[in-house]
Amino acid sequence: MGQLAFIKMFLLVSIPTDINDNRRHVHVFRKGSRHLTSMAKIWIESNGQKSIDIAYSELSAKENEMLLSAINAHWEFINEQITKTFKGEKTKVKDIGK
């Protein structure tokens, strides 16, 4: 699992087995939670182009908006880290929730 970024109380993660999915995306986990259940899945591209959409979410509208805004602002970094995850390389974790 490639940890990509912290956004406030959330952790964005890329999962190597997701390489076969038709769109790149991140899974959102609540930081410090004992349960490893994804709270949301957010698409970050479509056909290789930036396209940020919520695939599913158990979060509030305010939390979703905050996540979408942060992902949009740091899209290039997140996309580069997903590429590293798929290549089996070590990812950098960046705090982007300031």
Domain range list for the chain: 2-95
pLDDT at 97: 65
Residue 2 has pLDDT above 80, yes or no: no
| Over residues 14-31, mean pLDDT | 81
Q: 51 with 35: CB under 8 angstroms?
A: no
How far does Cα 79 stand from its chain's mean position? 9
Query: pTM for the whole thing?
Result: 0.83
Q: What confidence category does residue 85 fall into, taking pLDDT thresholds of 50, 70 and 90?
A: confident
